[in-house]
Amino acid sequence: MTKFLRESWLVLTMSVTFALMLAGAQATFGPKIEANKIAELEQAAVAVIPVEVAQLEKMSVNVENQDKTVFKCLDQGGAIVGWTLVDSDFGFQDKIKLVVGLSSDGSQITGLQVVENTETPGLGNKIAEADWSSQYEGLVAEKDVVVVKGPRSQETNEVSAITGATISSEAVTRIANKVIRQVRPKLDELR
Amino acid sequence: MANDNGNGAAAQFKAGVWSDNPVLVQLLGMCPTLAITNSVENALVMGAAATFVLVCSNLVTSVLRPLIRPHVRILIFTITIATFVTIADRYLAAHMFEVSKKLGAFVPLIIVNCIIICRAEVCAIKNGPIKSLCDAFGIGLGFTIALTILGVIRELLGSGSLLGYPVMPAGFEHWVIMVLPPGAFLTLGIVIGVVNHLRLRRSAGGAA
């Protein structure tokens, strides 16, 4: 035992010291990081609603044994102006987290924004660009959105895939369709 | 590998910036150099983070050097570097959230950046704190300069901007390849070639 301690006391002491330093770092920075993530999510939630949102009410819906976050978007007078759905699932590389805006009656998609992604830089990560995700504005929520290569037709609920990033484009659409299909029927309970 | 033209701390600092530049001469730390230099902001923040870790790691190693036995030194270097990288990563996520997201996994990957463990092994474990600190600052500055050179070229040609401000004239067609990995390799190769040429010319001129 003494031989063990004699050989390893420095490593053990340093490990304990570093562990304490890391705990201190987490305590100092942790709350700010959480606040940053919440602020980013709320900013995205408001961005996908076309009208001015004065208040965001964070709610939770249970679908298939999972809790999904839904934001109820209210205007100055407290009337519902839209809903923002949040979901994340696997894309091409890893998980994609996105927010989808629905109109207050749940019939139309008012916008979509990808909040977190690790898709290929310059190709797949164009899903995070407003130029691409603005295609979802005005599409119908009752039917699935369809991804097509080449020019798209808005009447048939289509979006154009990014050239060279079909899988990422399809992943975003798949996630959006899934969360809309799961949460739309439950919107009335949240009113 | 180390080519030290003088023994003092100042010489150590100068060597780290130019004659022993970690990226352009020693060809270390290629991974972040190629991955994140598509914008100047990324390059500067990565350089600053790596310098912070280098300085702390060299300082700790140098101060504790009489106590570090040879057979545990790699272990001690690794836990030291991992701790400071994690602190830097959490700091960036808290106070520079946007850049932290753009750098993504490459900040935690500083832990396996050869440059830092190399300086601990080559310099800090054998020298006093002053010389080790100068080495850390010199190598850190050299790393940042190399990253920034690449960042400037790639952002200017690939996005037409510098630090996000549009600089190139409106009609300029972005060289998209510069934002992608092939552009990184091409730019790095050319920059290393130019630096080598200048170094060879200078040493040939000195010998004559």
Chain B environment of A21 (Cβ under 8 Å): 83, 87
Q: What is the pLDDT of residues B96-153, one digit of tens each?
A: 999 998 898 899 999 999 999 999 999 999 999 999 999 999 999 999 999 999 999 9
Write down the ipTM of this complex.
Answer: 0.85
Average pLDDT value for residue range B155-181: 88
The total of other beta-carbon atoms located within 10 Å of residue A99's CB is: 26
A33 Cα to chain B: minimum distance (Å): 5
Would you call B54 helix, strand, or coil by DSSP? helix
Chain A environment of B80 (Cβ under 8 Å): 14, 18
Instruction: Determine, yes or no, domain membership for A174.
Output: yes
B56 Cα to chain A: minimum distance (Å): 12
Exposure pattern of B134-155 as b/e (b: 16+ CB <10 Å)? bbbbbbbbbbbbbbbbbbbbbb
Instruction: Determine, yes or no, domain membership for A34.
Output: no
Which residue has better confidence, A78 or B151? Answer: B151
Instruction: Determine, yes or no, domain membership for A35.
Output: no
Residue A7 and residue B76: Cβ atoms within 8 Å?
no
Which residues contact residue B102 at a Cβ distance below 8 angstroms, ignoring those fewer than 6 apart? Answer: B36, B39, B41, B42
Domain range for A112 is 45-190
Domain range for B37 is 9-161+172-207
Instruction: Determine, yes or no, domain membership for A98.
Output: yes
Chain A environment of B76 (Cβ under 8 Å): 10-11, 14
Instruction: Determine, yes or no, domain membership for A7.
Output: no
**Confidence at residue B137, expressed as pLDDT on a 0 to 100 scale:** 95
Residue A18 and residue B93: Cβ atoms within 8 Å?
no
**Closest to B79 (Cβ–Cβ): which among A18, A26, A28?**
A18
**Confidence at residue B207, expressed as pLDDT on a 0 to 100 scale:** 53
Instruction: Determine, yes or no, domain membership for B118.
Output: yes
Number of domains into which chain A is organized: 1
**Confidence at residue B5, expressed as pLDDT on a 0 to 100 scale:** 44
Q: What is the pLDDT of residues B52-93, one digit of tens each?
A: 999 999 999 999 999 998 989 999 999 999 999 999 999 999
**Confidence at residue B206, expressed as pLDDT on a 0 to 100 scale:** 61
Asked whether the beta carbons of A57 and A47 are under 8 A apart, the reply is no
Instruction: Determine, yes or no, domain membership for A13.
Output: no
**Closest to B72 (Cβ–Cβ): which among A11, A21, A40?**
A11
Asked whether the beta carbons of A161 and A148 are under 8 A apart, the reply is yes
What's the whole-number average pLDDT of chain A?
90
**Confidence at residue B108, expressed as pLDDT on a 0 to 100 scale:** 94
Instruction: Determine, yes or no, domain membership for A160.
Output: yes
Residue with tokens 């407290």: A78
**Confidence at residue A150, expressed as pLDDT on a 0 to 100 scale:** 87
Chain A environment of B179 (Cβ under 8 Å): 121-122
Number of domains into which chain B is organized: 1
Instruction: Determine, yes or no, domain membership for A119.
Output: yes
Instruction: Determine, yes or no, domain membership for B3.
Output: no
Residue B86 and residue A25: Cβ atoms within 8 Å?
yes
Instruction: Determine, yes or no, domain membership for B16.
Output: yes
**Confidence at residue B89, expressed as pLDDT on a 0 to 100 scale:** 97
Chain A environment of B178 (Cβ under 8 Å): none
d(CA A139, CA A143): 9
Residue of A nearest to B91 (CA): A29
**Confidence at residue B1, expressed as pLDDT on a 0 to 100 scale:** 43
d(CA B23, CA B25): 6
d(CA A87, CA A96): 8
What is the pTM (predicted TM-score) of this model? Answer: 0.84
The total of other beta-carbon atoms located within 10 Å of residue A94's CB is: 12
Average pLDDT value for residue range A66-70: 88
**Confidence at residue B104, expressed as pLDDT on a 0 to 100 scale:** 85
Q: Is B111 on the interface with A (CB under 8 A)?
A: no
At B6, the pLDDT band (50, 70, 90 cuts) reads low
**Nearest alpha-carbon partner for B43 in B116, B148, B115, B141:** B148
Q: Is A122 on the interface with B (CB under 8 A)?
A: yes
Instruction: Determine, yes or no, domain membership for B1.
Output: no
User: Which stretch of DSSP H or E encloses residue A112?
Assistant: strand A109-116
